[in-house]
Structure 1
Amino acid sequence: MANVVVVGSQWGDEGKGKIVDWLSEQADVIVRFQGGHNAGHTLVIDGVSYKLSLLPSGVAREGKLSVIGNGVVLDPHALAEEVERLSKQGVVVTPESLRVAENATLILSLHRELDALRENSNTGTRIGTTKRGIGPAYEDKVGRRAIRLMDLKNLATLPAKIDRLLTHHNALRRGLGQDEVSAQAIYDELASVADKVLPYMDKVWYLLDDLRRQGKRILFEGAQGALLDIDHGTYPFVTSSNTVAGQAAAGSGLGPNSINYVLGITKAYTTRVGEGPFPTELKDEIGEFLGTRGHEFGTVTGRRRRCGWFDAVLVRQTVCTSGITGIALTKLDVLDGLDEIKICIGYELDGERIDYLPASQGAQERVKPIYESLPGWKESTEGARTWADLPAQAIKYVRHVEELIGAPVALLSTSPERDDTILVQNPFQD
């Protein structure tokens, strides 16, 4: 049996929710391994929509174990609120269905405030963050001053840890002209939520190793997309964690030999939310068409996504950096009705043709896309469940994408409905 990692191959928002939900039905365990509640998945099960920001997609299915790994930064209040929100929809989350890594770093109110102060500042670079404290929490993690979930178990030891944290944060706040935060306020913030989140705490690395040895199928669920990776993305317009597939091992406590298949979720065009370079962005009627037809609004923020043509250069690069085995191509139906469809096959940078996205921020802003044009199709692909249901030109488009990115299509999604999927290869049966 294969253990599968699901990653977004672009800038996120590729339609992972539907694919992860489809895979989670076959999995025994679903693991979140990075990010925080800045991500968003919308699941539709039996006509009911569930909007998840932090919880793994498996929580909405009975008999599945959901796990939040150590690579996630955890807002304990957001976790408690999401559990409560799901309970109102009839989904009861218990310690039998959810486990959270004891060594997960906590997001506090001061992280959210610092995130907003920086993003709203008129100086420096606007990143386009969700202002949910993700970046500052990761900073404290690598700065070795973070408060972790296990610290809530012994509140008597919290004051010393809070003092160490505030030595750093209050100096920052003074520099930004903000009032200092009292140690008592942070203590009360944590103490008030401890009983709500501690029942889910576990040694996740130990638990997952045991389940793996039992032969359980594990699905590793990434957030955002590989081009938002802190190392391999469009830095500095990235998230604050590693989003590539290799993080599934480090962010859950398992070794890389636990991963058997990497599925890259890939939109049939390209979108991006927030700031940063976007070589194929369309600011014309075609971009408007894609955004309207594709309902391109963020699950968490509601922000309108920027839209553009499919960029094979970027996805080919992600296939390399994440070791993608096969892709799930989503939203093909959004392209229905276009007379012409373009694909970016290379860039021009300062008069030279290149076949990769350069790491330099300045170079990323200067690259110009080189396009191939393919004829569109007038027939509808929406709801197609077999290759025979697709127009010939749509099949040619899919095959050309495979050739350009160097990875096969394992699944093809033709609508938000989970059954409107053409299965070529089941990742769990690799």
Structure 2
Amino acid sequence: MLKRGGVKVHGRFWISDQAHLIFPYHLLMDRLREESLTRGKAIGTTKRGIGPCYADKMARVGIRVCDLKSMSYLRQRLLDVVKDRNAVLTKVYKHQPISFGKTFAYCKKIRSRLLELAIDTPKYLYDASKAGKNILFEGAQGTLLDVDHGTYPFVTSSNATVGGAITGSGIAPTLIDRIIGVVKAYTTRVGEGPFPSQFPENLMRLVQQKGEEFGSTTGRPRRCGWFDAVIAGHAVRINGLDEMAIMKLDVLSGLKELKIATAYRVNGKLTRDYPHAINEFSSAKPVYETMKGWDEDITHCKKWTDLPVNARKYLKRLEQLMGTPIKIVSVGSQRHQTIFL
């Protein structure tokens, strides 16, 4: 895909030799499990096989990039995995078994292409750090989708918090010296799971269209809601954030009033802390603080003082609630539509 786009990857793009491989049977298992769950219990997975691949990793039956080096070792390992997967497919899901021959042929097909990109990532990063190079880790998803610290079980299969950058890459935690949190000026969620500050339907559709809130992987519409300072504060604590970047402030232009969830009522009690029990979070009722909105188009703003007064007040209040300075504000989808504070 990168090559088709004219991007040169040779000598620039690498894959960890410790990375686990997603096989066609992972996608099949993902789809069958999701389809077997009743409404309300489905996770809303992308069905890309990620969860079953992580399950194999934790069960110590996963196959990694470095396993492709020895075809005899890979063959035996794959025989054991396919036998185990077929037992589940045929007995639990009443599905036809997968073919070992086709799966092994798939390995042969991808082997050379992956091995030429495979490197010892921890050593590569360590050497780069010692050479004084700048290293940037970009997180995906978000804190509330973290398998340990998110809205379990409505989470992804990995650690989407800062800790995941350490365990996933192999870099030493002492080498990370700056952590920037990225959050939208409102809250979004894709997939299933509780969402206390979710917009009413009409406002949801408006923000989805204006903010182009559709999943990058599946194209599913993202659910949208008011800024939730409770979960934002949880993310600040879990990740040890040094500063914040606020995205899509321009999407809120034109709204007469803006609400911020500053606390929840759970079982009749007021709390400003994120409740970890999913049944409590599902029943949480947001306590809102209301602020005045703005009508101005802010997509051409270049500096802090260009922003409308009410936009600045809104950002300052978010900063106070999160207890972390806002250093970046996005007012559009283009690079130049970024204000650095």
TM category, shorter: over 0.9
Matched position secondary structure for 1:86? coil
- Partner of 1:160 in structure 2? 76
Measured in 1, the distance between the counterparts of 2:24 and 2:210 equals 37
Q: Read off the aligned partner of 2:218 and give its amino acid letter.
A: T
Measured in 2, the distance between the counterparts of 1:240 and 1:383 equals 39
Aligned-pair Cα RMSD in Å? 1.1
- Partner of 1:118 in structure 2? 33
Is the 1:327–1:407 contact (alpha carbons within 8 Å) kept by the matching residues of 2? Answer: yes
In the alignment, structure 1 residue 88 sits paired with structure 2 residue 20:
no
Measured in 2, the distance between the counterparts of 1:103 and 1:293 equals 41
Is the 1:159–1:183 contact (alpha carbons within 8 Å) kept by the matching residues of 2? Answer: no
Counterparts of residues 14-413 of structure 1 (less than 5 Å):
85-94=1-10, 96-123=11-38, 125-174=41-90, 175-413=92-330
Matched position secondary structure for 2:116? helix
Measured after TM superposition, the shift of residue 421 of structure 1 is: 0.8
Which structure has more relative contact order (CA 8 Å, sep 6+)? It is 1
Deviations 1:340-369 (A, max 9, x none): 000000000111001122111111110000
Structure number with bigger Rg? 2
- Partner of 1:48 in structure 2? none
Measured in 2, the distance between the counterparts of 1:204 and 1:339 equals 50
Matched position secondary structure for 1:93? coil
Measured after TM superposition, the shift of residue 286 of structure 1 is: 1.9
Is the 1:382–1:415 contact (alpha carbons within 8 Å) kept by the matching residues of 2? Answer: yes
Q: Read off the aligned partner of 2:213 and give its amino acid letter.
A: E
Deviations 1:77-112 (A, max 9, x none): xxxxxxxx2222211211x10111111110000000
Measured in 2, the distance between the counterparts of 1:341 and 1:136 equals 40
Measured in 1, the distance between the counterparts of 2:38 and 2:178 equals 43
Measured in 2, the distance between the counterparts of 1:106 and 1:284 equals 40
Measured in 1, the distance between the counterparts of 2:4 and 2:17 equals 27
Measured in 2, the distance between the counterparts of 1:123 and 1:301 equals 21
Q: Which moved more, 1:208-217 or 1:356-365?
A: 356-365
Measured in 2, the distance between the counterparts of 1:225 and 1:119 equals 22
- Length-normalised TM-score, structure 2: 0.97
Measured in 1, the distance between the counterparts of 2:119 and 2:22 equals 18
Number of residues of Structure 1 aligned to a counterpart in Structure 2: 339
Task: List gaps (5 residues or longer) in structure 1.
Answer: 1-84, 425-430
Measured in 2, the distance between the counterparts of 1:356 and 1:164 equals 46
Measured after TM superposition, the shift of residue 272 of structure 1 is: 0.7
- Length-normalised TM-score, structure 1: 0.77
Is the 1:249–1:258 contact (alpha carbons within 8 Å) kept by the matching residues of 2? Answer: no
Moved over 4 A (4+): none
Is the 1:309–1:343 contact (alpha carbons within 8 Å) kept by the matching residues of 2? Answer: yes
Measured after TM superposition, the shift of residue 333 of structure 1 is: 0.4
Measured in 1, the distance between the counterparts of 2:150 and 2:126 equals 30
Structure 1 or 2: larger strand share? 1
Q: Read off the aligned partner of 2:146 and give its amino acid letter.
A: D
Matched position secondary structure for 1:218? coil
Deviations 1:219-253 (A, max 9, x none): 01111111100010001000000111012111111
Measured in 1, the distance between the counterparts of 2:209 and 2:95 equals 41
Measured after TM superposition, the shift of residue 201 of structure 1 is: 0.5
